[in-house]
Amino acid sequence: MNKKDTLIKVLVEISRVVLGATFIFSGFVKAVDPFGFAYKIEDYFAAFGVPSLSILAFPISAGLCIAEFAMGACMLFGLYRRWNSRLMLAMMVFMTLLTFYLAIADPVDDCGCFGDAVIITNWQTFFKNIVLLACSVMACIYCERITNLFTGKTYWLAFLYIFIFIGFFVFRNYLYNPLFDFRPYKIGANLPELMDVNEGEGRHEVSTLVYAKDGVEKEFTEDNYPWEDSTWVFVRMDTKVLNEGVESPIKDFAINRLDFDSRRTEIIGQADITQEVLSDTSYVFLMISPLLDHMSASYLGSFEDVENYASDYGYKFYCITGSPKDEIVKWSGDNAINFTFCSMDERTLKTIIRTNPGLVLLKNGTVVNKWADIDVPVESSLTAPLSQLEYGRLVDAKERDRDNLLYICAIFLIPLLSLKGFDFLVYRRRKEEEQPTGIIE
């Protein structure tokens, strides 16, 4: 192999690893939280003026998670090199053009290409895609030089397992809370701390008041503007950002308790109980439902059991929703539910927990536990105060995530390595059988 061929081989293998690792990571972190990526797709539809397509957001999210991961794994393992490299090139051409438009127009804050795991700007995404596009061109032109780790006899088995693995992983995270939580409301998070920004680290801006007199405009500050001189006419107020500062991870977390009349047919008032909830030294249950009319009622009985349990042991229980007040009254009456209802921004609720409904347990403003609707504690397991149950004990989230990552890697890699071992043994045996014995008579 001459120097040119060696250089091409090295570049192809580098491209293969970069593409494979990036696509696997991108597909995996989105598959961890398919609802989160679906919400980002809804933002795209809204920005492009087609919000009616939001019904397709989750199917598109799930499909892209599976496709990205499978394409990355096929590239890394050298499966179906020609077709996979062509598909990657087509995707990267489309994504590069799309992210170039997003970087210029800036219709959304970030593209969501790495979910909530890694947040990058639209320009950073575009430059990242330029690198991936170059790698995909190299891989497509010299696809035959990509190392294939499996023989043609086991291609389809390896691909089938990759597809089944990521498909089941997406389905698991559709039914339950994300296996890895990258959001600020994860277990162990102290919400009051995440809501605060240290003094001097916040956004710093200055406002200038522009007044005009005799056709001449002049800038004033809020301290010296000519409020007593009627000859000056106010024109506008200009605000300049001097320093973006540090942005708090949690915004719009405000709980407003809704007060019903005696017959529960009308909401007659509301009160902000955010600080009351976050400073409660006992346990507080928050039932989360972004929209009540979209709620799955299959597990509603379990939430009623938890509410009864909370009442028996003196814990607070609130049902927090982003639904309009008239819908809250109607839903409460239709389902004969007497929960204490509260309101909060719908998008914030979707960030706190992905299922509708879901359950969050707080103590001293710290997230102690979270449950998807399918996983809410059943009545038979709620037999003692929370301090005596596993539900009320804060787990080591970092240790749990590390263990989960090891389990997932083992589930993914061990079958593929076993298949590779089988492939190697069978291929080697057949190769030895096909060689001449070399016996001289």
The pLDDT tens digits for 40-98 are 888 888 888 888 888 899 999 999 999 999 999 999 999 999 999 999 999 999 999 98
The pLDDT tens digits for 386-429 are 999 999 998 888 899 999 999 999 999 999 999 888 877 776 56
- What confidence score (pLDDT) does residue 219 get? 83
The pLDDT tens digits for 116-143 are 888 888 888 999 999 999 999 999 999 9
* Position 204 confidence tier, pLDDT thresholds 50, 70, 90: low
User: What is the rounded CA–CA span in Å between residue 391 and residue 382?
Assistant: 9
- What confidence score (pLDDT) does residue 12 get? 93
Tokens of 210: 């522009």
Domain with CATH 3.40.30.10 in the chain: 256-394
Using only C-alpha atoms, the chain has a radius of gyration, in whole angstroms, of 29
How confident is the model over 147-158, as a mean pLDDT? 84
The pLDDT tens digits for 288-344 are 999 998 888 888 989 999 999 999 999 999 999 999 999 999 998 888 888 999 999
- What confidence score (pLDDT) does residue 434 get? 58
pTM: 0.81
How confident is the model over 150-179, as a mean pLDDT? 91
- What confidence score (pLDDT) does residue 199 get? 46
CATH tag, 256-394: 3.40.30.10
The pLDDT tens digits for 209-232 are 788 887 788 887 767 777 667 777
User: What is the rounded CA–CA span in Å between residue 70 and residue 31?
Assistant: 12
- What confidence score (pLDDT) does residue 241 get? 58
User: What is the rounded CA–CA span in Å between residue 118 and residue 113?
Assistant: 8
- Is 32 within 8 Å of 115 (Cβ atoms)? yes
**361 Cβ contact partners less than 8 Å away, ≥ 6 residues apart:** 283, 284, 285, 286, 367, 368, 369, 370, 386, 391, 392
**Whether the predicted pLDDT of 201 surpasses 60:** no
- What confidence score (pLDDT) does residue 162 get? 96
- What confidence score (pLDDT) does residue 275 get? 93
For 167, other C-beta atoms within 10 Å of its C-beta total: 16
The pLDDT tens digits for 220-279 are 776 777 766 777 777 777 766 555 555 678 888 999 999 998 888 888 888 999 999 999
- What confidence score (pLDDT) does residue 427 get? 67
How confident is the model over 167-192, as a mean pLDDT? 92
Tokens of 124: 């950073």
Tell me which residue has tokens 């989960």. Answer: 404
- What confidence score (pLDDT) does residue 441 get? 33
Burial tier of 58 (Cβ tally within 10 Å: 0-12, 13-18, 19+): middle
